A and B are shown apart, each in its own frame.
Chain A
Amino acid sequence: EVQLVESGGGLVQPGGSLRLSCAASGFTFSTYSLNWVRQAPGRGLEWVSYISGSSSPKYYADSVKGRFTISRDYATNSLYLQMNSLRAEDTAVYYCARGLYGGYGLDVWGQGTTVTVSS
Protein backbone atom coordinates (compact mmCIF):
# COMPACT_ATOMS: atom_id res chain seq x y z
CA GLU A 1 0.00 0.00 0.00
CA VAL A 2 1.28 3.43 -0.93
CA GLN A 3 1.54 5.47 2.23
CA LEU A 4 2.94 8.68 3.68
CA VAL A 5 3.09 9.12 7.45
CA GLU A 6 4.10 12.44 9.01
CA SER A 7 5.51 12.96 12.47
CA GLY A 8 7.39 15.55 14.48
CA GLY A 9 4.71 18.16 15.06
CA GLY A 10 4.16 19.78 18.42
CA LEU A 11 4.09 22.98 20.43
CA VAL A 12 7.04 25.33 19.98
CA GLN A 13 7.73 28.89 21.09
CA PRO A 14 8.06 31.74 18.59
CA GLY A 15 11.59 31.81 17.24
CA GLY A 16 12.06 28.12 17.90
CA SER A 17 12.78 25.21 15.58
CA LEU A 18 11.12 21.94 14.70
CA ARG A 19 11.86 19.14 12.22
CA LEU A 20 8.99 17.33 10.56
CA SER A 21 9.40 13.86 9.10
CA CYS A 22 7.40 11.96 6.52
CA ALA A 23 7.94 8.21 6.13
CA ALA A 24 7.15 6.90 2.66
CA SER A 25 6.33 3.31 1.78
CA GLY A 26 4.81 1.26 -1.02
CA PHE A 27 6.49 3.02 -3.94
CA THR A 28 9.93 3.68 -5.45
CA PHE A 29 10.95 6.64 -3.33
CA SER A 30 13.52 8.18 -5.67
CA THR A 31 11.12 8.27 -8.61
CA TYR A 32 8.70 10.79 -7.17
CA SER A 33 8.81 14.44 -6.21
CA LEU A 34 7.50 15.31 -2.76
CA ASN A 35 5.92 18.41 -1.27
CA TRP A 36 4.91 19.94 2.01
CA VAL A 37 1.51 21.60 2.13
CA ARG A 38 0.05 23.25 5.22
CA GLN A 39 -3.36 24.29 6.42
CA ALA A 40 -3.81 26.85 9.19
CA PRO A 41 -6.79 26.32 11.50
CA GLY A 42 -10.01 27.02 9.62
CA ARG A 43 -8.10 28.14 6.53
CA GLY A 44 -7.29 26.83 3.09
CA LEU A 45 -4.37 24.88 1.73
CA GLU A 46 -0.99 26.55 1.26
CA TRP A 47 1.85 24.96 -0.64
CA VAL A 48 5.10 25.21 1.35
CA SER A 49 7.93 23.40 -0.42
CA TYR A 50 8.88 20.99 -3.23
CA ILE A 51 11.78 18.60 -3.71
CA SER A 52 12.37 16.59 -6.88
CA GLY A 53 13.02 12.85 -6.91
CA SER A 54 16.76 13.52 -7.21
CA SER A 55 16.73 16.22 -4.48
CA SER A 56 17.38 18.99 -6.99
CA PRO A 57 15.69 21.32 -7.60
CA LYS A 58 14.01 22.46 -4.44
CA TYR A 59 11.45 25.27 -4.20
CA TYR A 60 9.90 27.22 -1.34
CA ALA A 61 6.95 29.51 -0.81
CA ASP A 62 7.99 33.11 -0.16
CA SER A 63 6.43 32.88 3.30
CA VAL A 64 8.99 30.27 4.42
CA LYS A 65 12.00 30.98 2.20
CA GLY A 66 15.18 31.30 4.24
CA ARG A 67 13.57 29.73 7.33
CA PHE A 68 12.51 26.26 6.17
CA THR A 69 14.64 23.59 4.49
CA ILE A 70 13.32 20.53 2.69
CA SER A 71 15.38 17.37 2.32
CA ARG A 72 14.99 13.65 1.73
CA ASP A 73 16.88 10.52 2.81
CA TYR A 74 16.96 7.67 0.31
CA ALA A 75 18.31 5.15 2.83
CA THR A 76 15.23 5.51 5.03
CA ASN A 77 12.69 6.67 2.42
CA SER A 78 11.99 9.77 4.45
CA LEU A 79 11.14 13.37 3.69
CA TYR A 80 12.02 16.15 6.12
CA LEU A 81 11.13 19.77 6.74
CA GLN A 82 13.49 21.68 9.00
CA MET A 83 11.63 24.73 10.30
CA ASN A 84 13.58 27.52 11.98
CA SER A 85 12.61 30.97 13.27
CA LEU A 86 9.05 29.82 13.67
CA ARG A 87 6.26 32.38 13.85
CA ALA A 88 2.68 32.26 15.07
CA GLU A 89 1.50 32.29 11.47
CA ASP A 90 3.30 28.98 10.86
CA THR A 91 0.73 27.27 13.08
CA ALA A 92 -0.95 24.69 10.88
CA VAL A 93 -1.43 21.06 10.00
CA TYR A 94 1.47 20.08 7.78
CA TYR A 95 0.89 17.45 5.11
CA CYS A 96 3.46 15.70 2.97
CA ALA A 97 2.18 14.93 -0.51
CA ARG A 98 3.58 13.00 -3.45
CA GLY A 99 3.80 14.54 -6.90
CA LEU A 100 2.03 12.66 -9.65
CA TYR A 101 4.50 10.67 -11.73
CA GLY A 102 4.85 12.24 -15.16
CA GLY A 103 2.10 14.69 -14.46
CA TYR A 104 0.93 17.61 -12.39
CA GLY A 105 -0.98 16.98 -9.20
CA LEU A 106 -0.54 15.64 -5.67
CA ASP A 107 -1.82 12.09 -5.71
CA VAL A 108 -0.91 10.71 -2.28
CA TRP A 109 -1.20 12.62 1.00
CA GLY A 110 -0.25 11.82 4.54
CA GLN A 111 -2.62 12.28 7.46
CA GLY A 112 -0.86 15.46 8.60
CA THR A 113 1.03 16.57 11.70
CA THR A 114 0.07 19.62 13.75
CA VAL A 115 2.50 22.43 14.49
CA THR A 116 1.52 25.06 17.03
CA VAL A 117 3.73 28.11 17.52
CA SER A 118 2.80 29.85 20.71
CA SER A 119 4.34 31.20 23.90
Chain B
Amino acid sequence: QSALTQPASVSGSPGQSITISCTGTSSDVGAYNYVSWYQQHPGKAPKLMIYEVSNRPSGVSNRFSGSKSGNTASLTISGLQAEDEADYYCSSYTSIITYVFGTGTKVTVL
Protein backbone atom coordinates (compact mmCIF):
# COMPACT_ATOMS: atom_id res chain seq x y z
CA GLN B 1 0.00 0.00 0.00
CA SER B 2 1.63 3.25 -1.12
CA ALA B 3 1.46 6.44 0.88
CA LEU B 4 -1.01 9.09 -0.21
CA THR B 5 0.58 11.96 -2.14
CA GLN B 6 0.83 15.42 -0.58
CA PRO B 7 2.86 18.45 -1.65
CA ALA B 8 6.12 18.66 0.27
CA SER B 9 5.52 22.25 1.27
CA VAL B 10 2.92 24.99 1.20
CA SER B 11 3.39 28.55 2.39
CA GLY B 12 1.28 31.62 2.96
CA SER B 13 1.24 34.97 4.69
CA PRO B 14 -0.65 35.61 7.91
CA GLY B 15 -4.35 36.04 7.23
CA GLN B 16 -4.24 34.22 3.91
CA SER B 17 -5.85 30.88 3.10
CA ILE B 18 -3.91 27.84 1.96
CA THR B 19 -5.02 24.43 0.74
CA ILE B 20 -3.15 21.14 1.10
CA SER B 21 -4.06 18.34 -1.28
CA CYS B 22 -3.97 14.62 -0.57
CA THR B 23 -4.18 12.34 -3.59
CA GLY B 24 -4.93 8.66 -3.33
CA THR B 25 -6.67 6.10 -5.48
CA SER B 26 -10.11 4.61 -6.03
CA SER B 27 -9.15 2.01 -3.40
CA ASP B 28 -8.65 4.48 -0.57
CA VAL B 29 -9.50 8.20 -0.72
CA GLY B 30 -11.93 7.73 -3.59
CA ALA B 31 -13.66 4.72 -2.08
CA TYR B 32 -14.50 5.90 1.42
CA ASN B 33 -15.46 9.08 3.25
CA TYR B 34 -12.84 8.12 5.81
CA VAL B 35 -10.18 10.77 5.40
CA SER B 36 -8.60 12.43 8.41
CA TRP B 37 -6.00 15.18 8.82
CA TYR B 38 -3.32 15.60 11.50
CA GLN B 39 -1.17 18.52 12.57
CA GLN B 40 2.27 17.85 14.01
CA HIS B 41 4.56 20.46 15.52
CA PRO B 42 8.28 19.60 15.76
CA GLY B 43 9.00 17.09 18.49
CA LYS B 44 5.32 16.70 19.34
CA ALA B 45 2.70 14.05 18.79
CA PRO B 46 0.23 14.45 15.93
CA LYS B 47 -3.12 16.10 16.64
CA LEU B 48 -6.38 15.22 14.90
CA MET B 49 -7.71 18.25 13.00
CA ILE B 50 -10.34 16.77 10.67
CA TYR B 51 -12.05 13.38 10.61
CA GLU B 52 -14.30 11.72 8.04
CA VAL B 53 -13.42 14.25 5.35
CA SER B 54 -14.91 17.39 6.85
CA ASN B 55 -15.69 17.00 10.55
CA ARG B 56 -13.81 18.98 13.19
CA PRO B 57 -13.19 17.50 16.64
CA SER B 58 -14.23 19.60 19.58
CA GLY B 59 -11.65 22.31 20.27
CA VAL B 60 -10.26 22.56 16.73
CA SER B 61 -10.54 26.01 15.21
CA ASN B 62 -13.15 26.52 12.50
CA ARG B 63 -10.35 28.01 10.39
CA PHE B 64 -9.60 24.39 9.47
CA SER B 65 -11.89 22.72 6.94
CA GLY B 66 -11.78 19.58 4.84
CA SER B 67 -13.29 18.39 1.60
CA LYS B 68 -12.97 15.65 -1.00
CA SER B 69 -13.46 15.29 -4.72
CA GLY B 70 -12.85 11.95 -6.38
CA ASN B 71 -9.49 10.55 -5.30
CA THR B 72 -8.25 13.83 -3.83
CA ALA B 73 -8.96 15.22 -0.39
CA SER B 74 -8.07 18.74 0.71
CA LEU B 75 -7.40 20.61 3.92
CA THR B 76 -7.92 24.36 3.88
CA ILE B 77 -6.56 26.66 6.55
CA SER B 78 -8.12 30.10 6.45
CA GLY B 79 -6.88 33.18 8.28
CA LEU B 80 -3.40 31.64 8.50
CA GLN B 81 -1.67 32.24 11.83
CA ALA B 82 1.90 31.75 13.01
CA GLU B 83 0.82 28.84 15.22
CA ASP B 84 -0.40 26.96 12.13
CA GLU B 85 3.20 26.44 11.03
CA ALA B 86 3.64 22.67 11.32
CA ASP B 87 3.62 19.44 9.36
CA TYR B 88 0.27 18.15 8.18
CA TYR B 89 -0.61 14.57 7.29
CA CYS B 90 -3.70 13.14 5.69
CA SER B 91 -4.86 9.60 6.26
CA SER B 92 -7.40 7.33 4.62
CA TYR B 93 -9.02 4.02 5.33
CA THR B 94 -8.24 1.37 2.76
CA SER B 95 -9.63 -2.07 2.18
CA ILE B 96 -6.16 -3.51 2.74
CA ILE B 97 -5.05 -1.87 5.96
CA THR B 98 -6.79 0.28 8.46
CA TYR B 99 -4.88 3.47 7.86
CA VAL B 100 -2.59 4.79 5.16
CA PHE B 101 -0.94 8.14 5.73
CA GLY B 102 0.08 10.82 3.30
CA THR B 103 3.65 11.84 2.64
CA GLY B 104 3.24 14.98 4.74
CA THR B 105 3.23 18.71 4.01
CA LYS B 106 5.29 21.34 5.76
CA VAL B 107 3.29 24.54 6.16
CA THR B 108 5.32 27.71 6.47
CA VAL B 109 3.84 31.02 7.57
CA LEU B 110 5.80 33.74 5.84
Contacts and interface: CB of A to CB of B under 8 A. Distances in A.
Interface of A: 35, 37, 44-47, 50, 59, 61-62, 95, 97, 100, 103-107, 109-112
Given A106-B48, A106-B99, A110-B45, 8 more contacts: A45-B38, A45-B101, A62-B97, A95-B46, A100-B48, A105-B36, A105-B91, A112-B45
Nearest to B55: A103
Contacts of B18: none
A100 B46 CA distance: 14
Interface residues of B, number: 27
A96 to B, nearest CB: 10
Given A62-B1, A95-B45, A44 B98 contact: no
Interface in B24-76: 32, 34, 36, 38, 40, 45-48, 50-52, 55, 57
B51 A100 contact: yes
Contact of B48 (A45, A47, A95, A105): A105
Interface in B84-106: 89, 91, 93, 97-104
Given A45-B101, A59-B98, A103 B89 contact: no
A47 B101 contact: yes
Given A95-B45, A104-B34, A109-B46, A47 B97 contact: yes
Given A44-B3, A45-B46, A104 B52 contact: yes
B27 to A, nearest CB: 15
B104 A44 contact: yes
Interface string B1-24: 101000000000000000000000
Given A45-B46, A110-B45, A103 B51 contact: yes
A47 B51 contact: no
B57 A107 contact: yes
A106 B45 contact: no
Residue in A47, A62, A110 whose Cβ sees the most chain B Cβ within 10 Å? A47
